[in-house]
Structure 1
Amino acid sequence: MTDLQIRNAVVTGAASGIGAAIATQLAEAGAAVALVARRQDRLDDLAGKLGPRTFGVGLDVTSQDSVDAGVARIHERLGTVDLVVNAAGVMLAAPIADGRLDDWTRMIDTNLTGVLRLVQAFTPDLIAAAGAGRTADLVNISSIGAHVVFPGYAVYGATKAALTHLSASLRADLSPYDVRVTNIEPGLTDTELATHLDSPGQDLIASMNEQIGPLHADDIADLVTFAVSRRRELNLRQIIALPTRQA
């Protein structure tokens, strides 16, 4: 294992769910953590529980101006970042036949373009950290929806498939600089994400939870903590995490 107490981390989507669980585990392992999400009040509340080496940065990944301002605050507080976790995401039921362009755009802007904004902002940090002999990690939280077809969720699945492919391509670009890229694809997980769905979608998730038994956000946080604490010569490139009963 490598020492997480010397790591400077950024976690998006940290106001709830998987992002909050990841940020919590990294902070408890000793890392300095910038908690990133839109809801500043939730970030401040979580940072207050995790201690002085964590702080909240209200930031909207769908806005370049917001990202630029937030990244400046993070650099002012942390200096060079060596661990970035892209956990912000949104899942909406938006069947193609319904033509919900606003919902499609929201998912693309958050799940894909938002990740690209953070990657663009922190890639120089990751390369610099690795060049100085430090461990450097980029972790993207994708979804089993990148591979499995769920009727009515074509655009969500497409964004996650794009993120999974992007992660593989980024590893090809960044591995020569000793920057690790890890893509994690959770299956059915009990998080706030399901509350974004319409009533039929929420009923479907509730039924799946009852039949299958979902993972918990802490399960995914365990995987992230494990992956980023390996010796810097080992990169866990792709991790798929499913409930035992999910096919």
Structure 2
Amino acid sequence: MSYDTLAGRTAVVTGAASGMGEATARLLASHGVRVALLARRAERLAELAATIEKAGGQALAVAADVTDAASVDAAAERVHTAYGQVDLVVNAAGVMLPNPVTDGRADEWQRMLDTNVAGALRVIRAFTPDLIAVAEAGRTADLVNISSIGAHIAFPHYAVYGATKAALTYLSQSLRTELGPRDVRVTNIEPGLTDTELADHIDNAELAGQLGGMFDALTGLAADDIADLIAYTTSRARHVNLRQAIVLPTRQA
């Protein structure tokens, strides 16, 4: 499939150190997109940037923590200094920490809220002025938020995670009413079972085992599958907004 229309664009990808963020950054860069890589793990970002550049792409590693407003603002300044205006933003940073609500893990709740909801908002605040300006100039502008099927389907012990993703899905829907009339596309992607590092954060052995069993039974998606969907969505003609995509393994559907 041709993604030639992506060439020459400038993207910010959060959560770029691993999983869907890393896969998306690699794919976009391979199609001529200048990619600013945002995540906390500076060493991983540097390795990814070197790999992209060795393959002939352009990448900027920017260590940033989306839970910290000052960190996001500093990252935006670095991106603007290096690349100028951004026309594609992918909010891929996220954390999944399932546990029964009755366990009262307020530390986990706050971490998911800070990353999955407030973190996305901080990035949106930092780069939406770019997207609006780009669109006003007649060029394509995209905001892509990666939510989860958990925004719609309840899974036992994933209540808070699902709630954060439902908030992101609703945020995307609402932002379209603000940004769509200004020619900025907003896309919300809700993956099902996908092979990423999210599962590594689970400290509940029983739930981790259940998730592993689901992968064995359902043949989960790869991060590259989500990256491919993002590249397809953002390479459409600028008047076409693929606004909502639920993507599941065939057996999970």
Q: Could you tell me which amino acid in structure 2 is paired with residue 169 of structure 1?
A: S
CA distance in 1, matches of 2:4, 2:113: 35
In structure 2, what is the equivalent of residue 87 of structure 1? 92
Alignment partner, residue 216 of structure 2: 210
Q: 1:243 — aligned with what?
A: 249
Deviation at 1:68, TM superposition (A): 1.0
Which residue of structure 2 aligns with residue 39 of structure 1?
41
Tell me if the contact between 1:2 and 1:231 (Cα under 8 Å) persists in the aligned partners: no
**How many Å separate the matches in 1 of 2:144 and 2:74?**
22
Deviations 1:185-220 (A, max 9, x none): 000001111001122222111100011110000000
1:172 aligns with 2:174: no
Q: How does 1:109-120 map to 2 (within 5 A)?
A: 109-120=114-125
Matches within 5 A, 1:177-188: 177-188=182-193
Aligned to 2:7, the other structure's residue is in SS state helix
Q: Which runs of 5+ in 1 are unaligned?
A: none
Is contact 2:148-2:165 (8 Å) kept? Answer: yes
| CA distance in structure 1 between the aligned counterparts of 2:210 and 2:20, rounded to whole angstroms | 20
Match for residue 196 of structure 2? 191
Q: Residue 22 in 1 paired to residue 24 in 2?
A: yes
- Cα-to-partner distance string for 1:44-102 (whole Å, 9 max, x where unaligned): 00000101610110000000111111111011011000000000000001321011101
Q: TM-score, normalised to structure 2's length? A: 0.96
TM-score (normalizing by structure 1): 0.98
Identity of aligned residues (%): 62
- SS of 1:3's partner is helix
| RMSD, aligned α-carbons | 0.9
Cα distance in structure 1, aligned partners of 2:128 and 2:21: 20
Q: Deviations over 1:131-182 (max 9, x none)?
A: 0111000000000000111111100000000000000000110011100000
Paired AA for residue 56 in structure 1: A
* Structure 2: runs of 5+ lacking an equivalent: none
Runs of 4+ in 1 over 4 A off after TM superposition: none
Distance 1:215 1:134 in 2: 32
Q: Is the 8 A contact 2:151 2:163 kept in 1?
A: yes
Check whether the contact 1:2–1:230 (CA below 8 A) recurs between aligned residues. no
Tell me the SS of whatever aligns to 1:221: helix
What is the aligned partner in structure 2 of residue 221 from structure 1? 227
- 1:185 partner amino acid: E
**2:80 aligned with 1:75:** yes
Query: In structure 2, the residue corresponding to 1:14 is in which secondary structure?
Result: coil
Contact 1:171 1:181 in 2 (8 A): yes
